[in-house]
Structure 1
């Protein structure tokens, strides 16, 4: 086998590939939400990491306070986070429309600091355990590695959501309206389409994806107020590599960067924390718009 020829036990190689695939699934869902928001609203949503954390905490509250299990939280927590995103867009971001996009970045950055600071004040910086659902405990021995059921579920669920989002925005009438609204909103409104409502719902959907990722991450990484800030810079790098606003670029690049990061931990562990940023630098030099981005 390749792993044995390179001097590594196959369990180590495939184990890191699995970890890379899981990280890539989180990168894909989070960067997909960022791509949707930037591509349709031209907003660099720096609050995305805090909303990802909010999804994990919403799932924890639903479990502990209301007694709603993991499967109910998987549906309700993204709806709660998406509703919070709708309020943010309606009462804060909409007031910045028509001016420099830097103000939107600064506003969402400030929101991220406030949200994370509030949760650190209330719960501290240590993680809160979140139980793995009973139906997904255990795993299967594949011979060359042991695959936990929950981690396999994370990859499948993330890919399903990514494919649904791509279909929704690229193959449906709603997606066509949203893309047209970014090009010429006045013309679209002349045809009777409520463009402000569409953009609000698009922002809500984008942050709901962050909440969905937070629910998936809770049993793996624990519920931690700083879990979003530890991940958001990497996710922004993934979005830049794939192309700002490119839905397909976010999905493909997110998974690919997770796998590359996992392989780097096997062959060159010291570089695993910076390999994604090195790839970003090379891509920006060779193709400034990103791998899937549109050149001007």
Structure 2
């Protein structure tokens, strides 16, 4: 969780950030301004003011209308099939708006520099951050991921091979809780950009969103594979591409929340990196 959010009237919220600096929030503000200039049919956050209060940054932002897709599913107001279809609708909208160079200025996760600082190529930039994460967390990953070095070497080549060369803004954390739905049961807003927001192949966003939709439920794998099938059918993404991007995301984010790998996210990532279909796509 990035911070605590409080309503301050009908049209504004205040967000108290736990760790973000003023400089990083100014960068995010510029990104949101660029994003707002696109032709999305849903709203996106807007930062109106940035303040420093008792050592923490506080932003005043636009209050966005709607109910989260996650809440609607939990309360039974939206069925799982409709929720999955809505997710693909949002991914299609993101993919269809083209490149957004402003997204290249953002770092991912807790990286200090933008993803593209060392390379102008999306596949190389992903491979670079994967190798940096490996160097940082090798001891934890080495004991959990089978044939780790072989997979990391293969990843750079496979990322280059599967890259469609299409470019769009990538949300990077498009979970049902980050999609707001209006009375017409269509997306009204997409929230919480920044964790893995960048510009790149829209199939990467599809692969990540499909895997995040249900991470820990009894039917999680079936849900992921069903969403892959929808992405293949509706957006033309190839299954092999989605699986390679699943591997990249899993390696890069495995230790995002616990350096020692003692949390559910690490286990979820390692499970994917050792999963037969992911391994076959990566080592093909």
TM over 0.5: no
Identify which of structures 1 and 2 has the higher relative contact order when contacts are C-alpha pairs closer than 8 Å and 6+ apart.
1
State the TM-score, normalized to the length of structure 1. 0.28
Task: Looking at secondary structure, tell me which structure has more strand per residue.
Answer: 2
Larger radius of gyration: 1
**Higher percent of residues as helix:** 1
Q: TM-score, normalised by structure 2?
A: 0.29
